[in-house]
Every structure is written in C-alpha cells, then in structure tokens.
A and B are shown apart, each in its own frame.
Chain A
C-alpha cells in the first residue's frame, strides 16, 4: 500500500519515502467548503507526528493540518498560494500540500489503509 490515511482526514503517499506527498482527503475538502487560504509548513523544518504543520482555511472555518508521521518537510505546494481552490478541485492530486522525508516507516504503517479510512467515513 503506498497511500495511507489519518483520522484527521489527511492522506500520505509514500512512493518516494524521501518526499512522501501529503494532502487533505475528498471528505475533508467537502466538509470545509471553498478553500481560500493554505498556511503552508516551513520547508527544512522537522516536525513530530501529530504536530500542527499548517492550516487549511475555507470561507467559514480554519482547520489545522497535523503531521501524519515524523519527518522533515522537504517541499510545499507553492501553487496553493496563488490558487488555494486546488485543494477543493483536486485534493488527492494537484492540490497536495507538502512533501515529507519519512524516516520512521512504522509510523506510516500504523496509519489507516484505504478500507480502514472508508470504514471511518461510514461512522461519520
């Protein structure tokens, strides 16, 4: 499995573990509504799992983004600065938020797999 999910409605794709891609899920963007601003994390900074790394803001609310696994942020999606709505229109693709160098694979493996995340959504 290369993409896993968090209970906070984020996804992480680890095809390249030195630059695993993190974003918000379809459910998250739908719950937030029109995204108007993304406060991106700091490139080069190392965060622990669970740290607040950024904020996704819609017209009506601000939602914290949490670090799904420990690691250094190696890149952020600069395109979101000019067009935050990418997080709505393509949250699993061009609306990705940042990339992280994953060093603790066991933290990745403890996240929700797609059936596990689907099961979580059904409880909401």
Chain B
C-alpha cells in the first residue's frame, strides 16, 4: 500500500487485529477484519460493532453568528437547533447540487460539524471562504472519531459512562470515557441504535480497546459499514448524491425544515435555493429510489435501468447482495414516472436483464432509540 496514505490513530490496532487495509479518501483504512464483511455486518445488526471513522472531518464553528452563518450554506434549520441536538445537513452549490452531506450538533459554545473524509479539505475551504468572516472555522485534526453501532451498543458504552443511555437519537453530550473528554452523539450510519464518539487522538486507542473488551463488541470495517448503510437506505456521498443531484431528487426533502422552504420564515438564502425551492413546489424529473433484486445476481453501481422494451429509465448508484435482506438491493435514480413503489424495472448486468422492484427505503427497519 502506498506509503503516502494518512493513518488514523488506530492504525497499529487495526494491524494487530488482522485488518485488511485499503486506501480510502487518502487514508489507509480497514475494509474488514479476519471474520469478513458478512460476519461484521451481522455483528452490528445483532449485537454491537466498533468502526474507526477517524478519517472523517471534524470541525468547530465558534461565535454568536455561527448558526446563522452556516444556514447561508445549507437548506437546513440550524438557527433553531437546540443545544444538545444533532441534525443532518447538506452543503449545496448554486445549481442546487450537493457538495457534501454533514452532521451538525449544537453544543453550548460551538457547532460541532462532521463531514466526509473525501470532502473535508474542500468543505473547510468552503466554510472559511464563505462564512470565515462571520465565525471561527476550526478543524479538529487532534480528534479521532469512533462509531459504536448496534442494538447492544448502549449496554457496552454505558459501562464506561452510564449517562450515555439517557441520550436519544440525534442528541449528544460531553462524557468522560477512559479519562478523556469525549463528545458523544446517539447517531450513526448503520440504521441501528448506536453512538459516534469524538475522542482526543491520544486517547483513541485506549477507548477502542476498552470498547472491544466489552463482550457485545467486535471490530468492523468499511466494507460492513457500506452494506449496513445501504440496507438502512442512507446515501453515500460521491455515489448516491453528488454535485449533480439535488436534495429533492435525492429524496432528502425531510432534511429541509419548513422554515427554510418557500413560504417559510427563513426561506431560501442558501446556494441553489431557487432551483431547490422550485423543485419542492413543482416536483422533479428523476428520483432516488430503493430497488430489490428479484433474482440472485448482485446489481452494482453504474448498472443501467430499462423498461421491458429496453428504454433507459435510470441508473444504479449503489448496490450489493445485502447480508441481512439476503437479496440484491440497490439505490438508483429513476425517471419520476417510474419511481413508484412495486413498479418493476430491469437492471442490465453483463448483457442480461435482472428484474428489480422499486421498494420503500430503508430495506431494514431502523433501530433508532427516539
């Protein structure tokens, strides 16, 4: 593996645990451990799995104008976000496309933002350029990020700090874990209950080892993270959403609160507001949908979708044979007049047509604790 890849603070621990390391967004990351992706996927659905997501970008926005400033870059209500709450958001461009998706948590003295690894440099620049005069933009390379996910995550983490069990889905707070000041949110990217833990880099190994010592917990890599998020119907930036897809086409209108929509008290005033506002009012030509494969052949990113006559209807943006669903699943963009639940389309795979059925997302019931 290329020597110029960055390493997370858990790098040596991954090697000790026998991880298969792959390059991802400029980092050497574990794709799976010796148990394999399917076992790690099941571990997360049935018990708890620990993921190293330290490659993701963590930032603080500081200052009394930070929330209003951030609102100028996202179609999301940040101003009214109460202290201790977390919210999903999207950076948009002038055409209404998505530059990145992110999580925002309001803390007593700042906004805590988590962005995608591959976008973090661009996002930081975007923030500094556009709102750096209104608030301080402070990257946090000194923090690692661990995700403990699964229905038994709360049981395991509560042994280290019992207060975490009082958090509910999409809330967060500060806790001392293995003697270190951590910021913990009850959220994640698997569709399960679980936590994301921002921890000082120099305490990350101790925290990971303390969590792996819990009987419910085993390590899981990016491979399982991908199959878990796909079953949960969650978008992967650069695949299911990108600068050419809008939040409305992507079916992410739930992330745009009423106050930011046309007619709302703080409507518009973010990049692409005209386009997104008009799509909210008038609808879209293509929509992101879930697809369930009716045969066994996995249908992957890039597969073309056609109707029975062979007319192109769209394309697949993520797909695999889903471990929990035990059928091929995919997310795709489909012409809006075909994006109807139970509608059948065909995916072209190696010259053969695989029947797929438009299916509501998520593919598995969420385990969130609200």
Contact = CB atoms under 8 A, between A and B. Distances in A.
Interface of A: 33-34, 36-37, 39, 55, 57-60, 62, 81, 88
B321 A36 contact: yes
A36 B350 CA distance: 17
Interface stretch (B78-86, B90-98, B296-304): B296-304
Contact of A37 (B20, B31, B226, B298): B298
B227 interface: yes
A60 B38 contact: no
Nearest to A39: B297
28 contacts: A33-B20, A33-B31, A33-B32, A33-B37, A33-B223, A34-B38, A36-B38, A36-B320, A36-B321, A37-B296, A37-B321, A39-B297, A39-B350, A55-B350, A57-B297, A57-B298, A57-B321, A59-B37, A59-B223, A59-B320, A59-B323, A60-B31, A60-B37, A60-B226, A60-B320, A62-B298, A81-B296, A88-B36
B226 A33 contact: no
A59 B300 CA distance: 10
Contacts of B31: 33, 60
A55 B298 CA distance: 11
Interface in B281-323: 296-298, 300, 320-321, 323
B325 to A, nearest CB: 12
B298 A36 contact: yes
Nearest to A58: B37
Interface string B124-165: 000000000000000000000000000000000000000000
Interface of B: 20, 31-32, 36-38, 41, 223, 226-227, 296-298, 300, 320-321, 323, 350
Contacts of A62: 298, 300
Nearest to B35: A34
Nearest to B36: A34
Contacts of B321: 36-37, 57, 59
Contact of A59 (B20, B227, B297): B227
B280 to A, nearest CB: 36
A36 B297 CA distance: 9
Contacts of B320: 36, 59-60
Contacts of B32: 33
Leading 10 A-B pairs by shortest Cβ distance? A36-B321, A34-B38, A59-B37, A34-B36, A57-B298, A60-B223, A34-B37, A37-B296, A37-B298, A33-B37
B37 A37 contact: no
A119 to B, nearest CB: 22
A26 to B, nearest CB: 14
Contacts of A34: 36-38
Nearest to A52: B350
A62 B226 CA distance: 16
A77 to B, nearest CB: 15
Contacts of A33: 20, 31-32, 36-37, 223
